[in-house]
Homo-oligomer: A and B are copies of this chain.
Amino acid sequence: MESQDLRKAGLKVTLPRLKVLEILESAQQRHMSAEDVYKALLEMGEEIGLATVYRVLTQFEGAGLVSRLSIEGGHAVFELEDGTHHDHLLCVRCNQIEEFIDEVIEQRQRVIAAEKGFQMTDHSLYIYGICRNCQS
């Protein structure tokens, strides 16, 4: 009953929105670009325009249903929002993305923001590297 999620978010229940949600929920990869979602829709037989995919993802972000990662060099990727804040490790070879949570870092960030007189609104931490599989 994903329709409820959409209604709760104040969005009309439309086929493109339901299908995009479905893709995000069932995809093998948790992190997908707009293009990835678009292609997955095509494979599913749904002819939904790329512009609509972008619009829907942006609305979902606004509604708190997904988060947007702005990774270095290029396109954004989206992940279903699961309520947990986490940061990311990205493999520069295979583009795989892993997540991690580190309370020590979180705490230090709060301290630093306070020290500098900043009212923190957000923060993003990306660790780039070569994952275990790609080191061979």
Residues of A within 8 A of B (CB): 70, 72-73, 89, 91-92, 98, 100, 102, 104-105, 108-109, 112-113, 116-132, 135
Whether A118 and B102, one on each chain, are in contact in the complex, defined by CB atoms closer than 8 angstroms, is no
Chain B residues with CB below 8 A from A89, complex form: 112-113, 116, 118
Whether B109 and A108, one on each chain, are in contact in the complex, defined by CB atoms closer than 8 angstroms, is no
**Quick one: given A89-B112, A109-B127, A123-B126, are A118 and B132 in contact (CB under 8 Å)?**
yes
Q: Give CA–CA (A62, B109) in the complex, Å.
A: 30
Copies of this chain, tallied across the complex? 2
A28 to chain B minimum Cβ distance, whole angstroms, is: 20
Whether A112 and B129, one on each chain, are in contact in the complex, defined by CB atoms closer than 8 angstroms, is no
Q: Which of B102, B109, B121, B124 contacts A112 (CB under 8 A)?
A: B102
Chain B residues with CB below 8 A from A102, complex form: 108, 112
Q: Give CA–CA (A119, B93) in the complex, Å.
A: 11
6 chain-A/chain-B pairs, Cβ below 8 angstroms: A102-B108, A105-B108, A112-B127, A113-B127, A118-B127, A120-B129
Q: Give CA–CA (A133, B121) in the complex, Å.
A: 15
Residue of B nearest to A130 (CB): B119
Whether B116 and A108, one on each chain, are in contact in the complex, defined by CB atoms closer than 8 angstroms, is no
Whether B123 and A127, one on each chain, are in contact in the complex, defined by CB atoms closer than 8 angstroms, is yes
Q: Give CA–CA (A79, B120) in the complex, Å.
A: 23
